[in-house]
Structure 1
Amino acid sequence: MNSKTMKYITNATTVFFLSAMAIFLIYGIQTGLFTSKEQLQMLISHAGYLGPALFILIQFLQVVFPIVPGGITCLAGVFMFGPLWGFLYSYIGIIAGSFTNFYLARRYGETFVKKIVSPEIYDKYMDKLNSGKKFDIVFAAAIILPCAPDDVLCMLAGLTRMPFFKFAVILLAGRPASLIFYSLTGYFV
């Protein structure tokens, strides 16, 4: 298979999956799925054994389409699955979404990112993007701390010269801290 065909297949697959996720996202917004803990719990409970996979997909979507704050869905995961399984399912979905954000930004560039990220957030972090270690420190802190725009920063990291390996290490090591915070908060609430 030549590189032109491979590029076409990659682009077509990306468009298909982004379209399918957008349709599910629109459905979720219209039905209150992403804003109502009860709606989310009802959908997951009706899914039976597929409930965890559906929740992981929802976590993935809320990262790739940063419309709903991730803390809400993390807390919902704790209520539905308990602190350990809620944490694990959230971690899997959020990590997959974060890798996807990095890949999409790296693949489609600044024009694509500007369509997803608000101008205020984009401008706020643009000056730090290629300032070497300064962005790395901001990025690592955002991944560790709860309530930071870490999903957007994963996309912005894709625009930098940060190697994928460094991105992966920061993400895989730092993400559990904020997820543990949400899991414990949900457990004790």
Structure 2
Amino acid sequence: MNKKYIFAIVSILFFFFGLSIILLVINPSYTDNIVRFTREHKFYGPLFLVLWRILGIVVPAIPAGVVSFAVVPLFGWQLTYVYTLIGILIGTSTSFWLARKFREPLVAKFLPLQKIHKLEDSLSHKKRFAAIVALRLFTVPVMDFSSYIAGLTKISFAKFFLATIIASIPDIGIFYFGEELYKRVFGKSIAIAVAMLFFLALGYFLFRRRSSLK
């Protein structure tokens, strides 16, 4: 996949998200409408979050975790974690089986072949399970390609699925931290909290992405 094309898509998505968040801060009535909508239509908010998380895994260039962190004030950290985990499990399973079926020609659209082979070699037979857990822990905040790499190995889907669940456990602390910021720092203002959490997560993502490219 053309990197410029991916960058353009991600930039457009973040532009609209950023613009929406700025509007929330400028006009609190928008926030009230969104909160009212999510409470009256309890299915749509979680559905969006789950689908967005799936998209961010199947298309690794999309940092869907940034949005997951930002919506903690809307759902609370517990439900945000549950919805995010559902999206992660569906998304990683999809990526895993896509890689297992279509192999390197598909994965090469997201990563250079040289890097793919290097990561495959790092997943040794004896330590493959632990390596996948570590790979998800340290690469997901930048670009979630671990599911595709795992699909190229001989690891069983059951072990991969379990490794994904284990690697997702630290998200509990992250979302809890986000809710505490919302309650203690942002004065329980949903608009300000969502905006600050979004840009905080975005800053972390950009920092990690830049570090990974060095």
TM-score exceeds 0.5: yes
Q: How does 1:88-103 map to 2 (within 5 A)?
A: 88-103=82-97
By how many angstroms is 1:184 displaced?
2.0
Q: Tell which structure's C-alpha radius of gyration is larger.
A: 2
By how many angstroms is 1:149 displaced?
5.6
> In 2, are the aligned partners of 1:87 and 1:183 still within 8 Å (CA)?
yes
Among 40, 57, 61, which residue is 1:67 paired with? 61
Q: Which residue type is aligned with residue 86 of structure 1?
A: T
Instruction: Output one character per residue of 1:113-137: Cα deviation in whole Å (capped at 9) or x when no partner.
Output: 01123567535413214x2123322
Matched, 1:38 2:31: no
> In 2, are the aligned partners of 1:142 and 1:148 still within 8 Å (CA)?
no
Among 37, 45, 52, which residue is 1:51 paired with? 45
By how many angstroms is 1:186 displaced?
1.2
Identity %: 28
Instruction: Output one character per residue of 1:34-54: Cα deviation in whole Å (capped at 9) or x when no partner.
Output: 566728x87993674312101
Among 148, 154, 157, which residue is 1:155 paired with? 148
In the other structure, the counterpart of 1:134 is 127
> In 2, are the aligned partners of 1:74 and 1:182 still within 8 Å (CA)?
no
Instruction: Output one character per residue of 1:106-162: Cα deviation in whole Å (capped at 9) or x when no partner.
Output: 111111001123567535413214x21233222112335685567311110000000
> Any unmatched runs of 5+ in structure 1?
1-24
> In 1, are the aligned partners of 2:60 and 2:145 still within 8 Å (CA)?
yes
> In 1, are the aligned partners of 2:99 and 2:151 still within 8 Å (CA)?
yes
Q: 2: CA distance between counterparts of 1:106 and 1:112? A: 10
Q: Which residue type is aligned with residue 73 of structure 1?
A: V
Among 176, 180, 192, which residue is 1:184 paired with? 176
In the other structure, the counterpart of 2:27 is none
What is the number of equivalent residue pairs in this alignment? 162
By how many angstroms is 1:55 displaced?
1.4
Q: 1: CA distance between counterparts of 2:105 and 2:51? A: 26
TM-score by length of 1: 0.69
Q: 1: CA distance between counterparts of 2:152 and 2:58? A: 16
Q: How does 1:23-34 map to 2 (within 5 A)?
A: 26=9, 29-30=12-13, 32-33=15-16
Among 135, 158, 171, which residue is 1:165 paired with? 158
Q: Which residue type is aligned with residue 75 of structure 1?
A: F
Q: 2: CA distance between counterparts of 1:84 and 1:70? A: 18
Q: 1: CA distance between counterparts of 2:106 and 2:134? A: 25
